[in-house]
Structure 1
Amino acid sequence: MLRPVVQCLLLACAVSLSSTAVVLEDGKPLQWSHAFSQVTELPEQNGVTTPNPSHFLHRMSFYKLLIAATDPYMGTMGTGAEDSPVWGLAIQLAWLLSSGRLADPTGQTNCGLGEPMCISLNSWWSCNYFVSALPFLSAAQQGFLIPGMQVQMQIPEGFGEYCSNYADCATKYPDAMNKWDAFFQGLRDAATSPLPDSEKKDLLLGLYWAAQMASIYASSACNAKQSLYSSEEISFANSWLNSAEYVSAAHFQSNLVLSSKFVVPLPGRVLKEGDVAPNIADLTAEENHSLNTFTWMKNINTLLGGTLVSMWQKAMCSPTTREKGRTLLEQLMLDPSFATPTFLSIITGMSTRTMT
């Protein structure tokens, strides 16, 4: 249960942002034009790059720099400049800012409210750190940014769940760092691979999502921070995490256009006690629909003892079924007329066929 003062702060933030979170600005994620285009624009001390992950522009810069550094290796993703799957993480960060989820939920600071570019490390949602700082550190270690580049994140005392440099992250969260290393190495290998582009694309997306999921699992180090939110926000957060299992298994290509379509209907403010979809008055029909769908997927999976996720993962066993899965997810999340029981029956059928 949120303390009244915290509820007031979050509600005030929500009102100022309106019910629908704006994630794009001139066709790019919020603040993209202000994010750094060169690694040398980040803070530096004694030859060591020292970004501040509590500053929104620094985190957005991680993505801008990553996309620029890896685009030459992303030819299998498409011919456009916005086909990299990393765009999805940038869009997600923009939504977290716009919806007020990066603000301090304790109410003890003005971070994220009066200081809009401030990311509060008290926020559970700020543990987006694991899908922003970790890939950036890995890319630097793998030589994608500047040869020999050293990075030391500015992490204040008292936040031991965060790691601050490559060696620290590799020690605390070895699975996540190993998988990001594998993704970046896979990008290099794909450049000389004789495989058809379609196979290389599916392979690279598999490596990318394996790394992203490992970072999401690592973020469980922040779970205690969920207690600062309403039960409705906690339920949504957990449902949102659960949904990643589906998009990951389907090797979703989280480019700029597709990611925007999936993120725009997410709730544009922090949920409060009594917010029950699909009847939240100050949220749009699309936001209510997405919340209702997330909740349904999580509840059904729980009732089935976790087998909905496992059935989906078994069904997503080939490029062909993964393509069908991506279409199915788009229908489920974006088409209010698409019945959730239909989703369940299709998964059951697909999963059964893969075992015969």
Structure 2
Amino acid sequence: MTFHLPWACVIIGCIFVSLGRASNTPDVYPPLWKESPGQFSDYKVEDGKYIINIWHYLERLGTYKILLNKTAKYFEKFAPENEQNILWGLPVHHGWQYRTGRLADPTQRTNCGHESGDYLCISVDSWWADLNYYLSAMPFLAAVDSGIMGISSDNITFLPPSKDQTNFCYNVSSCYSSFPETMKKWNKFYQSYSSSFEELLKYLWAAHVSSLKVAHKKFGNRLKFYSKQEADFERSWALFVDYLAPPLFPTTLIRTAEFQKGLPTRMLVDGDKAPLVSDFTSFQNTVLLGLNFLHKVHKYTGKRQRNFYVFVNSALENKKLYNGKFGNYYVIQFSRYSLPFLIEGGNFIYNFYSLKQN
């Protein structure tokens, strides 16, 4: 499909029908979730400090589990079993990175993260792992500093990676020294638990975007380690996250898990061309195609599109949609044309349009 600047292209749309009891299914949780640490005492202690190897998948995952456990009481008013905790988006996405091999050494110079080697190792050369560091270390340390974790700010230290140590921070004081504005945004989120669900999403996304903004400046050089297809996907994904923030996408357990069903199940390689990747589902092919379009729009115009927006509505059970189906829906629309998708009973039905702008 040829891309032309005068054309307004619909990027992605998703319709989420009722998820029923999906929150009880184990596949929504990150890999090895049960095996990861769930309390501070599960980590090594030296000189009265908890030492966390955040370059080990289980230990990084454990920081998320502790964070979710400590914040559960603030979200119980929204739903039982901590399902509506909007911090779920962080570990669920990290689990997808691990499952698809994106935390492994992309240079192939070490066996870090590879199934045939140290499969729980997180490589400092991984673009995904480095960006995720800023969405694991800083949220966790800011929570410690806010007081909700129940321990002193001086009692936590992260181990540094094998190289590029100056790109990261390792305790509360060093993170505040290096990234004061981002840490303040995370702290603001933790101090706002009496707010409404929408207000909490606003504070969360402000901190999330701030973390990624800092990380993007540091790790662009990692893209050279990947195939062109994977590097383009990384750029597209980073751009797309910016579009999820303004409409306050709800990063709850089920919403995030369902959303990620549209993401690639492995690293992209030479020859992968959406929507014709044979081992991807129609959903995954279409999402990948949509992300590619979004990246091209940004590349050719040199700016983010103000008329690209996300429309979220969870109260349309009785409104007829384009394909005659009913249900909750989540639509992402570029310009004034919408693209309906439907997920129902595990099947994905979609239409894709490229319409000339009047």
TM-score range (shorter-chain normalised) is 0.7 to 0.9
In the alignment, the residues of structure 2 paired with residue 79 and residue 40 of structure 1 have an alpha-carbon distance, to the nearest angstrom, of 26
CA-to-partner distance for each residue in 1:61-105, whole Å, 9 max, x for gaps?
Answer: 111111111111124543442111111111111111110111111
Q: Which has the higher strand share?
A: 2
Q: CA deviation at 1:296?
A: 1.3
- The 1:287–1:327 alpha-carbon spacing in structure 2 relative to 1, beyond 3 Å, is closer
In the alignment, the residues of structure 2 paired with residue 94 and residue 289 of structure 1 have an alpha-carbon distance, to the nearest angstrom, of 22
Q: Which has the higher contact order (CA 8 A, sep 6+)?
A: 2
Instruction: Indicate the residue corresponding to 2:92 in structure 1.
Output: 91
Q: Secondary structure at the match of 2:250?
A: coil
Which among 259, 263, 268 is matched to residue 265 of structure 2? 268
Does 1:229 find its partner at 2:229? no
Does 1:134 find its partner at 2:134? no
Instruction: Indicate the residue corresponding to 1:118 in structure 2.
Output: 121
In the alignment, the residues of structure 2 paired with residue 258 and residue 111 of structure 1 have an alpha-carbon distance, to the nearest angstrom, of 31
Residues 49 and 157 in structure 2, CA contact (< 8 A), matched pair in contact too: yes
Q: CA deviation at 1:183?
A: 0.5
In the alignment, the residues of structure 2 paired with residue 65 and residue 44 of structure 1 have an alpha-carbon distance, to the nearest angstrom, of 16
Amino acid at match of 2:148: F
Structure 1 alignment gaps of length 5 or more: 1-23, 191-199, 349-356
* 1:139-288 → structure 2 map (5 Å cutoff): 139-149=143-153, 150-159=155-164, 160-187=166-193, 189-190=194-195, 200-220=196-216, 221-288=218-285
Q: CA deviation at 1:57?
A: 0.7
- The 1:203–1:181 alpha-carbon spacing in structure 2 relative to 1, beyond 3 Å, is same
Instruction: Indicate the residue corresponding to 2:12 in structure 1.
Output: none
In the alignment, the residues of structure 1 paired with residue 276 and residue 133 of structure 2 have an alpha-carbon distance, to the nearest angstrom, of 32
Instruction: Indicate the residue corresponding to 1:352 in structure 2.
Output: none
Residues 35 and 60 in structure 1, CA contact (< 8 A), matched pair in contact too: yes
- The 1:97–1:332 alpha-carbon spacing in structure 2 relative to 1, beyond 3 Å, is farther
Amino acid at match of 1:185: Q
Residues 104 and 112 in structure 2, CA contact (< 8 A), matched pair in contact too: yes
In the alignment, the residues of structure 1 paired with residue 258 and residue 274 of structure 2 have an alpha-carbon distance, to the nearest angstrom, of 20
In the alignment, the residues of structure 1 paired with residue 329 and residue 75 of structure 2 have an alpha-carbon distance, to the nearest angstrom, of 20
Q: CA deviation at 1:322?
A: 5.5
In the alignment, the residues of structure 2 paired with residue 148 and residue 340 of structure 1 have an alpha-carbon distance, to the nearest angstrom, of 54
Residues 103 and 123 in structure 1, CA contact (< 8 A), matched pair in contact too: yes
Instruction: Indicate the residue corresponding to 1:44 in structure 2.
Output: 45
- The 1:64–1:332 alpha-carbon spacing in structure 2 relative to 1, beyond 3 Å, is farther
Amino acid at match of 2:332: L
- The 1:242–1:286 alpha-carbon spacing in structure 2 relative to 1, beyond 3 Å, is same
TM value normalised by structure 2: 0.78
Comparing 333-342 and 88-97, the one that deviates more: 333-342
Amino acid at match of 1:180: W
Amino acid at match of 2:72: D
Residues 213 and 248 in structure 1, CA contact (< 8 A), matched pair in contact too: yes
Instruction: Indicate the residue corresponding to 2:66 in structure 1.
Output: 65
Q: CA deviation at 1:53?
A: 0.9
Does 1:294 find its partner at 2:291? yes
- The 1:341–1:170 alpha-carbon spacing in structure 2 relative to 1, beyond 3 Å, is farther
Residues 124 and 162 in structure 2, CA contact (< 8 A), matched pair in contact too: no
Number of positions where the alignment pairs a residue of Structure 1 with one of Structure 2: 305
Q: Which has the higher helix share?
A: 1
Residues 130 and 215 in structure 1, CA contact (< 8 A), matched pair in contact too: yes
In the alignment, the residues of structure 2 paired with residue 334 and residue 36 of structure 1 have an alpha-carbon distance, to the nearest angstrom, of 38
Q: CA deviation at 1:210?
A: 0.6
**CA RMSD for the aligned pairs?**
2.6
Runs of 4 or more, structure 1, over 6 Å off, are none
Amino acid at match of 2:79: G
- The 1:285–1:102 alpha-carbon spacing in structure 2 relative to 1, beyond 3 Å, is same
Comparing 78-87 and 57-66, the one that deviates more: 78-87
Amino acid at match of 1:156: P
Amino acid at match of 1:179: K
Structure 2 alignment gaps of length 5 or more: 1-24, 315-327, 343-348
Amino acid at match of 1:135: P
- The 1:332–1:117 alpha-carbon spacing in structure 2 relative to 1, beyond 3 Å, is farther
CA-to-partner distance for each residue in 1:305-347, whole Å, 9 max, x for gaps?
Answer: 4242x334xx67xxxx6648972139859545243558x98xx
- The 1:334–1:266 alpha-carbon spacing in structure 2 relative to 1, beyond 3 Å, is farther
TM value normalised by structure 1: 0.79
Identity among equivalent positions (%) equals 28
